[in-house]
């Protein structure tokens, strides 16, 4: 973002405009929350994208790379749902064009096709570093300090999801699936997200699951992607204390070995069909340690009952004859149901923590059970909450990756805005669903008339952004 003379209290509208009304004040507050959040935590959008190499010839460049990156982020933040909407919604709109002029010194918003043309030439690894760097800054600035598991470990949920599906081959890297003679071509991803009890699910690193050639003997898969992702995480954060929250798919020797090698803790869903010897050992050993039992009540009026059992130092030998020492945690949860029998659910996790009556509740409720947040606050919100994760924003394989990563940037900002004190102060009762926030942000961008000084005042005015850490 360009710098101008900051003002302490920017006006909502320009002189000569109609009197300030409640709607304009709300739009100004929401736009401030969006721009100030980006500025406060990440130095603004120009800073965000300054490390990405621009392959274009400067003399032939109309839009700076930061303006194109911002337009992509804005598309996702406003839930436009398609690349072509960028032009139809933001171009030839006076207030919108004025904001692009003030932020990036350009005449108007770029066309979606302009974004696609540039993004196809970018290095996705550099855009990935923007995403990773955002979450890293939140860690280093201790924004996420209160949300550590056991006041020590950052909880990283790792899970995969499908992103793009085509009836014809999209690129040589497509994965294929054939059912009843019909072949489908698709592109999944494996995502590592930093998850917290208060609902944050920040993208930390993405591993694209794709074939290295058009007709491989064995296709890429989530497990192969996990090994690559784990290596990248360790290289990028060699000393960060991590605890991985993983699905049952990853329960096995290779995962245990990597976590042991990298010094990571883990909480892995233990399904009934997996690791039969571990289940047998658990049932046998619980009889020898009856003291490893705890009953806990939680929920409204402490109406939810959780019965815990645990066993430490279960020895497991994997298929490669490597020995691992595991702990198993079991939680049987009973939830009352009106006019019906209580609902009972059994949860089990594998871990390399030493489990005690002092940490088991946190390990289960603030660790193992938070894994669903990568599916709910993460993928589900991005698919069904207005971000349109599964929409093909580009036919170009490189540009598709860049758009995916811009979506992650937008989602990080979105979460910080929604839970930040600026938003909560302006909307103490909330605005309903996240889609309502996107709609209001869109209206603010299109309708709120601000000059350059007034606009910059929204993010340069002295402020603090805090989160509820309870």
What is d(CA 238, CA 232) in angstroms, rounded to the nearest whole number? Answer: 10
pLDDT given at position 165 = 86
| Reported confidence tier of residue 103, pLDDT bands at 50, 70, 90 | very high
| Reported confidence tier of residue 456, pLDDT bands at 50, 70, 90 | confident
Please report, for residues 78, 92, 269, 435, the alpha-carbon distance to residue 73 in angstroms, rounded to integers and kept in the order given: 9, 19, 34, 16
CB 257 within 8 A of CB 349: no
pLDDT given at position 22 = 80
Mean pLDDT computed over 114-121 = 97
Residue 152 has pLDDT above 50, yes or no: yes
Mean pLDDT computed over 54-65 = 94
What is d(CA 193, CA 221) in angstroms, rounded to the nearest whole number? Answer: 19
pLDDT given at position 385 = 82
What is d(CA 38, CA 36) in angstroms, rounded to the nearest whole number? Answer: 5
CB 160 within 8 A of CB 129: no
pLDDT in tens, 265-306: 999 999 999 999 999 999 999 999 999 999 999 999 999 999
> How deeply is 293 buried, as exposed, middle or buried, from its count of CB atoms within 10 A (0-12, 13-18, 19+)?
middle
DSSP 8-state class, residue 402? H
CATH superfamily of 153-384: Transposase Inhibitor Protein From Tn5; Chain A, domain 1 (3.90.350.10)
| Reported confidence tier of residue 262, pLDDT bands at 50, 70, 90 | very high
- Neighbour count for residue 298 (Cβ, 10 Å): 12
Give SS3 for 329. Answer: strand
Residue 86 has pLDDT above 70, yes or no: yes
What is d(CA 407, CA 413) in angstroms, rounded to the nearest whole number? Answer: 10
pLDDT given at position 470 = 61
pLDDT given at position 21 = 75
Residue 318 has pLDDT above 90, yes or no: yes
Mean pLDDT computed over 365-389 = 83
Q: Which residues pair with 296 in a beta bridge?
A: 306
pLDDT given at position 72 = 97
Residue 3 has pLDDT above 70, yes or no: no
Phi-psi label, residue 430: left if phi above 0, alpha if psi -120 to 50, beta otherwise: left
pLDDT given at position 2 = 45
CB 209 within 8 A of CB 220: yes
Q: What percent of the chain has pLDDT over 70?
A: 94
Alpha helical stretches, state H, 162-308: 222-236, 253-262, 276-286
Mean pLDDT computed over 423-443 = 89
Sequence-separated (6 or more) residues with CB below 8 Å from residue 57: none
Of 61-75, 195-209, 437-451, 452-466, the range with the lowest mean pLDDT is 452-466
For the chain, helix, strand, coil in percent to 5 are 45, 20, 35
> How deeply is 236 buried, as exposed, middle or buried, from its count of CB atoms within 10 A (0-12, 13-18, 19+)?
middle
Report which secondary-structure segment, H or E, holds 67. helix 65-77
Question: What sign does the CA torsion over 102, 88, 411, 72 have?
Answer: negative
| Reported confidence tier of residue 323, pLDDT bands at 50, 70, 90 | very high
Residue-wise burial string across 154-180, b where 16 or more C-beta atoms lie within 10 A, e elsewhere: bbbbbbbbebbeeeeebbebbbeeeee
Among residues 33, 92, 42, the alpha carbon closest in space to that of 69 is found at 42
Please report, for residues 28, 74, 184, 439, the alpha-carbon distance to residue 35 in angstroms, rounded to integers and kept in the order given: 10, 11, 41, 16
Higher pLDDT residue, 382 or 276? Answer: 276
pLDDT in tens, 383-421: 888 888 889 999 999 999 999 999 999 999 999 999 999
Please report, for residues 12, 99, 296, 431, 449, the alpha-carbon distance to residue 16 in angstroms, rounded to integers and kept in the order given: 12, 18, 63, 30, 11
- Domain limits, CATH 3.90.350.10, in the chain: 153-384
Sequence-separated (6 or more) residues with CB below 8 Å from residue 223: 249, 250, 254
* Strand-pair category, 182-195 with 154-166: antiparallel
Distance of alpha carbon 86 from its chain centroid, rounded? 23
Residue 13 has pLDDT above 50, yes or no: no
Report which secondary-structure segment, H or E, holds 246. strand 242-246
Q: Report the residue count for the chain.
A: 470
pLDDT given at position 20 = 56
> How deeply is 150 buried, as exposed, middle or buried, from its count of CB atoms within 10 A (0-12, 13-18, 19+)?
middle
One-letter-per-residue 3-state SS of 128-191: HHHHHHHHHHHHHCCCCHHHCECCCEEEEEEEEEEEEEECCCCCCCCEEEEECCEEEEEEEEEE
Phi-psi label, residue 247: left if phi above 0, alpha if psi -120 to 50, beta otherwise: beta
State the chain's mean pLDDT as an integer: 91
């Amino acid at each position: 973002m360009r710098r101008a003379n900051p003002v302490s209290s920017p006006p909502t509208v320009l002189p000569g405009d109609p009197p300030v009304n409640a709607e304009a004040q709300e739009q100004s507050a929401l736009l401030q929350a969006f721009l100030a959040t980006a500025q406060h935590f990440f130095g603004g959008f120009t800073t965000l994208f300054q490390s990405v190499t621009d392959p274009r010839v400067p003399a032939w460049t109309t839009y700076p790379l930061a303006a194109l990156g911002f337009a992509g982020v804005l598309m996702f933040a406003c839930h436009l749902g398609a690349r072509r909407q960028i032009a139809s919604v933001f171009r030839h709109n006076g207030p919108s064009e004025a904001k692009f002029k003030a932020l990036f010194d350009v005449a108007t918003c770029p066309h979606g096709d302009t974004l696609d043309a540039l993004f196809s030439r970018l290095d996705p690894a550099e855009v990935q570093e923007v995403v990773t760097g955002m979450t890293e800054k939140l860690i280093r600035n201790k924004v996420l300090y209160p949300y550590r598991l056991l006041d020590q470990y950052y909880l990283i949920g790792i899970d995969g999801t499908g992103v793009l599906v085509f009836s014809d081959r999209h690129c040589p890297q497509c994965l294929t699936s054939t059912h009843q003679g019909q072949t489908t071509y698709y592109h999944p991803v494996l995502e590592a997200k930093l998850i917290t009890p208060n609902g944050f699910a920040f993208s930390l690193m993405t591993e694209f699951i794709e074939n290295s050639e058009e007709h491989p003997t064995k296709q890429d898969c989530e497990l192969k992607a996990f090994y690559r992702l784990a290596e990248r995480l360790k290289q990028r954060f060699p000393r960060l204390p991590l605890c991985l929250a993983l699905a049952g798919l990853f329960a096995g020797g290779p995962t245990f070995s990597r976590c042991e090698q990298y010094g990571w803790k883990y909480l892995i869903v233990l399904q009934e069909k997996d690791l039969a010897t571990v289940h047998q050992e658990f049932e046998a050993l619980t009889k020898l340690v009856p003291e490893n039992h705890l009953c806990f009540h939680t929920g409204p009026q402490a109406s939810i009952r959780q019965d815990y059992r645990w066993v430490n130092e279960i020895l497991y030998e994997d298929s490669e004859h490597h020995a691992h020492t595991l702990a198993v945690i079991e939680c049987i949860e009973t939830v009352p149901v009106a006019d019906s029998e209580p609902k009972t659910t059994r949860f089990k996790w594998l871990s390399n923590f030493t489990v005690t009556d002092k940490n088991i509740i946190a390990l289960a409720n603030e660790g193992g059970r938070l894994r669903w947040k990568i599916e709910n606050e993460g993928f589900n919100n991005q698919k069904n909450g207005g971000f349109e994760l599964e929409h093909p924003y580009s036919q170009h394989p490189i540009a598709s990756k860049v758009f995916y990563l811009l979506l992650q940037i937008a989602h990080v900002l979105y979460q910080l805005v929604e839970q930040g004190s600026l938003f909560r102060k302006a909307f103490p009762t909330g605005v309903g669903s996240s889609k309502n926030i996107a709609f209001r942000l869109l209206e603010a961008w299109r309708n709120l008339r601000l000059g350059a000084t007034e606009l910059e005042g929204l993010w340069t005015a002295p402020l603090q952004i805090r989160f509820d850490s309870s």
